[in-house]
Amino acid sequence: SKFTAVDQETCIACGACGINAPDIFDYDDEGIAFSLLDSNSGTVIVPEHLEEDLIDAWQGCPTDSVKVSEAPFKNNLKCVK
């Protein structure tokens, strides 16, 4: 299974993630992305039917801010990819 969260420190509001994976990512008022699944905590399993979208978003982010892990995220998104 996969977990995901956006590193909002490095997100530049590119907007590609929400196009690739509209059921996973949305943006705040400033265009900074977050995961809709779990308020960007990276603790809820990405539904299997969305995994392909997730990989597209992960590959498509220009700043590698879409983080994907096989385990739930703790508090340090920067360590995980």
Site for ligand F3S, rule CB under 6 A: 6, 11-17, 33, 61-63, 65-66
Between 19 and 71, CB nearer to ligand F3S: 19
Cα separations in angstroms, 33 against 26, 36, 64: 6, 9, 12
Least CB distance to ligand F3S at residue 30 (A) = 10
CA distance 15 to 63: 11
Between 22 and 45, CB nearer to ligand F3S: 22
Between 6 and 37, CB nearer to ligand F3S: 6
CA distance 41 to 37: 9
